[in-house]
Amino acid sequence: MARGPSLSGFLERVGFEDAGSLSPEFGVSARLYETQGRGVPQVFRVEGYPGVSAGNVVASRRLLLEAVGAGSDVEAYRLLAASLRDAAPGEVEGTPGGLSRAEGGLEEVPFARFYEGEGGPYVTSSIFVACSGGACNASIHRLMRLGRWEAVARLVPRHLYHMYREARRRGEDLPVSIVVGVHPAVLLAAASSPPLGVFEVDVARRLAPGLRVVESPLHGNPVPYPFSVLIEARLTGELVEEGPFVDATGTLDRVRRQPLVKVEAVYRLDGEPFHIILPAGMEHANLMGFPREAQIWESVSRVVPRVAAVRLTPASGGWLHAVIALEKNVDGDAKNAIMAAFAAHPSLKHVVVVDTDIDVDDPAQVEWAIATRFQANRDLVVIHGARGSSLDPSAEDSLTSKVGVDATAPLGAGEKFRRARIPGVHRRGPGG
């Protein structure tokens, strides 16, 4: 039977480089870091582990759009918004055949060390699927190995955390099914954080038509198929130290006490690569940031005539800084756009709004717009004491000051704010 949309099929379609054999001790991270700018996925074997692995799968904007079959950012934003709005439960098949049980438990899973100072080896692309009270949730959580049958997961206070807390109030562990190595559209859906009750795997069905969903062998949770590895486990009430871990900003996140994961079984499926995401890399930024870009695009589109582009910048981890290119009806639209962006993505710290002649992917052009079109006394928006992101090491108890910069030219200003051009030359760098 056909497997449907898969990571292996995606890699075959977009192409990849064979990176040979890599050490799990910084060898994988070094290769992914050095090649992430090429825009080509890497396929490799992790020394000491069975099967193949892949990384930098969606480390470029082109690959990200390929994952959802879109031709532009705006088309992808609309598709994601429609998928979140119209997601509906679909068929869940029984447990598939062809699974082999890993008797060595997590010792047969390619956990990796990425940076100096981290607390242990990690899996970074693990999607946790859990169901409770008639609702199911799929979300991405890092997993640090402690032993053959134990690990610790980082839970942020969102839907899986809510399900976990409800289970603990009943004095129960929360059964979870953890999958790694799925079509990248599933990762995008799992990163999108829709309202509780909207199942991210159903969102993924809309993004990747034909995606199959099956019951996990032990817990019967609906998981996307095919996958490379499936871990059946329980989130327990025992809290253990997790971290340090290098998160999206490239800094070491602090040690926290997080739920101990008791592993009950590990299954492998031949023919599907294990997915390894480089923390603080381009792929990490794309998967975190793209769903939030779609939210910002939707929110800002309600207050201005046209939003041409939204970019959560790679240097901010795809999370803290946004650049928005738009068309104004009246002066003041840019400030409304700034407030709409902060409302759409509460972790956002700085927003720069530019005109559509500025390339949001070119930091030099954005800086040029600030240098020539911005005056602090009239174009600066500052908000103190707002909730920010726990990823920002400069925030105090997640409270931050937010800054919006209106770097758009005044309407009707004519040639005064226009960049000079050379006929037949597409300029790059300062001034675009």
Q: Cα Rg for the chain, rounded, in angstroms?
A: 22
Q: Is the peptide bond before 226 cis (omega within 30 degrees of 0)?
A: yes
| Cβ–Cβ < 8 Å for 386, 402 | yes
Res 432: pLDDT: 46
* Type and span of the H or E element at 130: strand 127-132
Res 427: pLDDT: 60
In 3D space, the residue among 43, 23, 81 whose CA is nearest the CA of residue 310 turns out to be 81
Res 1: pLDDT: 43
**302-417 CATH pick, 3.40.1670.10, 3.20.20.80, 3.90.1150.10, 3.30.70.2190:** 3.40.1670.10
Report how far apart, in Å, the C-alpha atoms of 176 and of each of 62, 219, 232, 404 are: 33, 7, 6, 41
| Cβ–Cβ < 8 Å for 126, 297 | no
Both tokens of 149, joined, read: 């049958």
Under CATH, domain 7-282 is a member of which superfamily? Electron Transport, Fmn-binding Protein; Chain A (2.30.110.10)
Q: Which residues pair with 229 in a beta bridge?
A: 180, 268
Catalytic residues: 247
**Secondary structure letter of residue 409 according to DSSP:** P
Instruction: Give pLDDT tens digits along the chain (432 positions).
Output: 467 899 999 999 999 999 999 999 999 999 999 999 999 999 999 999 989 999 999 999 999 999 999 999 999 999 999 999 888 888 999 999 899 999 999 999 999 999 999 999 999 999 999 999 889 999 999 999 999 999 999 998 889 999 999 999 999 999 999 999 999 999 999 999 888 889 999 999 999 999 999 999 999 999 999 999 999 999 999 999 999 999 888 889 889 999 999 999 999 999 999 999 999 999 999 999 999 999 999 999 999 989 999 999 988 988 899 999 999 999 999 999 999 999 999 999 999 999 999 999 999 999 999 999 999 999 999 999 888 877 778 888 778 999 999 999 999 877 788 888 888 776 655 544
| Four-CA torsion 221, 227, 228, 233, nearest 10 degrees | -10
| Cβ–Cβ < 8 Å for 60, 67 | no
Report how far apart, in Å, the C-alpha atoms of 276 and of each of 35, 97, 140, 153, 320 are: 14, 25, 13, 16, 23
Q: List phi, psi (to 5°) of 231.
A: -115, 120
Res 428: pLDDT: 59
| Cβ–Cβ < 8 Å for 323, 352 | yes
Domain ranges across the chain: 7-282, 302-417
| Cβ–Cβ < 8 Å for 19, 52 | no
What pTM value is reported for the model? 0.91
Q: What residues have CB less than 8 Å from 22, skipping those under 6 apart?
A: 28, 31, 44, 45, 46, 47
| Cβ–Cβ < 8 Å for 321, 315 | yes
CA 56 to chain CA centroid, Å, is: 13
Res 430: pLDDT: 52
